[in-house]
Structure 1
């Protein structure tokens, strides 16, 4: 017995051999979603390790940190009272949970040295450190990229050997000088001898010049060398040859077609340099009496103010992790191929 179908209706039938129906799309098939999940997961794990290490800092200090902070003349009653006020008399697991809860609520404890909340001290001094660090990073990038690009173009294919040798030797010397020694030299030259610039404090734009230079010169030289090497490789790439074949102006070929690829390849190193510059602010701030966290952490370590040290370690650690995450995101946006490579690595 046969049945007839009404006109205009479609009878479902078996799929053609070798043809697969498209599976429903989900976030797991979106490489950007997978990229965000992986980077977010790594950031959360790194933050957890940082928080745990900062918490264990007090408990791994040899001896009694409370007695060390209060001094040898402190009475046992004062020591026990201080330990109770800081919550260090509770079980270790309870202290850990309270420490994590305090991070989310902004309660990082009370400074033994200053008798003030740690969060208030950090909030008061953090803007100065951020201003110095951001200014130093911007100056380093603005110096490194044009310098590396100009030297690469000038010394391409073995030209101007003297310029290449001079750039290499100068950049190596400046990159290996510790930033605090460079700061002392800048103070002696421009502050003491020539008396052109202030050497201490944060008062006006001119007070930024010397500490920013001390912070940025070394990283700028390192980054400039990397930009030069990457640009030399990109200048011989196929797409750059195609741009030259179209008789585009040489400056446009370099700045529009070659340099963006070289800078993208240098972003990873830029993230590492940014983390190093964040740590370098500690020494630079002490040289120039900068009213930031760097000068505070030195005094807190000498005064054995471990609550304050904990809070500052968290701030510096979170700053480095966020900077590296921002660089990863920028690299993925500027060069989407990086997410593909991550996908390939994740699927192995």
Structure 2
């Protein structure tokens, strides 16, 4: 075999000038790629929140009906209704109402609820911990179960062994993914609450009251993540380093936990971030089914009563949570992978 001399090896071609200019343009002078990425993401979050504020204001004012009349009841006199509208500023032009609303946001004031006359911020502060607890516990359950289920099923069916088991597991996971949260919640209530009388079906405050809502909220995301882990694990089992580990007859726990798990965790974490934001939004249905006093039931009752300030406050808070979680997840992914494509986009 002829080995070329160093003189015959030509230097690699430099990238086109246009490409280099575009790459330099992605980052501001004096800022590292991470700071540029953070700046870009924060701007996107602020723009998205501004759009949410405009959209919610327009939507709630387009919906027909008088919120003051709905709050005071049909027996309220026209004079009382007109006085209440004047106190709430609803007699002003819509442009002036929007300006007052935005000014209140900058001062940390979300307005007063038309139903309870309480501060919207105070009500949201009382309901937010309930929703975060429900979503957080459901995500923890889904994350803890998806990894062993996905890894074990992949190992069991590797090289086309036990195909019946793989098909059964994939069918069950697919069924749980496709099943609506409301249907699953009602089924759990019928089985464990009404038939077996084993668990409470409504309320909040005890561990027993937490079980059914968490299961109903977590089983779909858990199934979705388990399928991702399953596919990633099958791919990792085909890699040369896993073949070498099997050739060295390393114990199973070393092969799968030390060598395989770190290589599948990035994909699961990326999907897990999307699942977490979906769980926060999905609490609306579960809280309504199980009568949990969180943000979900708050927005449902507010829409029914045409409580404009409360609707705007809850939607804005949900949007802030989702956008904030997406930002944190992107930062975590770029910290774990310094060469992530997110830093370039």
Compute the TM-score of the two structures, normalised by the length of structure 1: 0.83
Q: How does 1:240-251 map to 2 (within 5 A)?
A: 240-241=242-243, 243-244=245-246, 248-251=250-253
- The match for 1:199 is 201
Partner of 2:291, secondary structure, is coil
- The match for 2:342 is 342
Partner Cα distance (1:105, 1:252) in 2: 56
Partner Cα distance (1:289, 1:173) in 2: 26
Q: CA RMSD in A?
A: 2.5
Q: Is there any run of 5+ residues in structure 2 with no aligned partner, and where?
A: 1-26
- The match for 1:17 is none
Partner of 1:252, secondary structure, is helix
Q: How does 1:218-233 map to 2 (within 5 A)?
A: 218-233=220-235
List per-residue Cα deviations over 1:283-332 (Å, max 9, x = no partner): 21122221212222222111111211111111111111112222212211
CA distance 1:215–1:343, shift in 2 (3 Å): closer
List per-residue Cα deviations over 1:122-145 (Å, max 9, x = no partner): 112221111111111111111112
CA apart distance, 1:212: 0.5
- The match for 2:114 is 112
- The match for 1:305 is 307
* Contact kept in structure 2, 1:286 and 1:294, CA below 8 Å: yes
List per-residue Cα deviations over 1:11-51 (Å, max 9, x = no partner): xxxxxxxxxxxxxx986452212221222222222222222
Partner Cα distance (1:244, 1:199) in 2: 49
CA apart distance, 1:115: 1.8
* Contact kept in structure 2, 1:177 and 1:218, CA below 8 Å: yes
Q: How does 1:42-61 map to 2 (within 5 A)?
A: 42-61=44-63
CA apart distance, 1:260: 2.4
* Contact kept in structure 1, 2:113 and 2:307, CA below 8 Å: yes
Stretch of structure 1 that moved more, 244-253 or 175-184: 244-253
CA distance 1:170–1:122, shift in 2 (3 Å): same
Partner of 1:88, secondary structure, is coil
Partner Cα distance (1:218, 1:238) in 2: 33
Partner Cα distance (1:327, 1:60) in 2: 35
Stretch of structure 1 that moved more, 245-254 or 173-182: 245-254
